Amino acid sequence: MQDRLCVIGFRLRANDSYREELAKTEERRNADRVDPSPRIVSMDRASIYDELSRVEREVVAGERQLAEQERLVLDLKREGQNTSGPERELERLRERQRLRDQDRQRLLSLLQP
């Protein structure tokens, strides 16, 4: 029985020792670690700028599409033709443009300090 207690006691001491070594190793790893956050943030900012550039090109193209569709609707109305289909398309284009604007605002807010 005493041998068994001695073995159990050794295991407990060994586990404690192992845990201590593990904690020290983890501390050393953390101390050696260079904080990568500035590099990651700058990479993220670069990605955000790339995405913002793409979204802004889409916004410009969307404005052009809206102007063309509005002109089409006005021309059809002047000619007395049915405008229900083109007006539905115009509303769809407006909704997509609202979404692009929201996306642009979201990206701009990510770039704020």
pLDDT at res. 3: 47
pLDDT at res. 91: 98
pLDDT tens readout for residues 7-43: 444 444 545 565 666 566 666 655 544 444 444 455 5
Residue that has been written with the tokens 């501390």 in this structure: 27
- C-alpha separations of 49 from 25, 87, 107 in Å: 39, 34, 8
pLDDT tens readout for residues 43-102: 588 999 999 999 999 999 999 999 999 999 999 999 999 999 999 999 999 999 999 999
Tell me which of 82 and 2 has the higher pLDDT. 82
pLDDT tier, 113 (very low <50, low <70, confident <90, very high otherwise): confident
Q: Is the pTM of this model over 0.75?
A: no
Could you tell me the two tokens for 52? 């913002």
pLDDT at res. 28: 60
The C-alpha atoms of residue 53 and residue 33 are separated, in whole angstroms, by 34
pLDDT at res. 44: 87
First CA to last CA across the chain, in angstroms? 67
Could you tell me the two tokens for 54? 């793409």
